[in-house]
Amino acid sequence: MAQLRQDFDKFTAQETEIVVVGPEDAASFSAYWQNHKLPFVGLPDPSHTVLKRYGQEVSLFKFGRMPAQVAIDKNGTARYVHYGHNAADIPANEEILDLLEIMNKEIHASSQR
């Protein structure tokens, strides 16, 4: 999440809303967000409803949930999904930002038609 906070302004410049979904309860999530002063949305999902819907993997051998990133366009279509193979397998912000730029250009072009 530090990576997302580091480039938060770049994400908002791409008209992007960052939502982090985690398996913790609301109280734990709220405390973490307040302690770390995170500028984006945190969604507690203790029943794993959202996490299951997007196919986030659980590996007991790797101590829990593997990272997953999903980019959803303004029409509600998942346009990019990355499932990490370990806790450090997270795409670089620049990779995601480049993808968002392409997605936004496509959306703007289709709305011009």
pLDDT in tens, 28-38: 989 999 999 99
Question: Any idea how long the chain is?
Answer: 113
Helix (H, G, I), strand (E, B) or coil at 22: strand
Within-domain flag for 112: no
Give the model's pLDDT for residue 55. Answer: 78
Within-domain flag for 74: yes
Q: Which domain covers residue 78, as residue numbers?
A: 2-104
CATH label of the domain that carries residue 48: 3.40.30.10
The pLDDT confidence band at residue 9, using thresholds 50, 70 and 90, is very high
Give the amino acid at 98. D
**Which tokens go with 19?**
């939502």
Within-domain flag for 59: yes
- pTM, two decimals, is 0.81
Within-domain flag for 15: yes
Q: Report d(CA 56, CA 109) in Å as an integer.
A: 32
| More confidently predicted of 61 and 113 | 113
| pLDDT tens figures, 38-95 | 999 999 998 888 888 887 776 556 566 788 899 988 888 888 999 888 888 899 999 9
- Of the candidates 46, 44, 45, 18, the one whose C-alpha atom is nearest the C-alpha of residue 32 is 44
Strand partners, 17: none
Within-domain flag for 29: yes
**Total domains in the fold of the chain:** 1
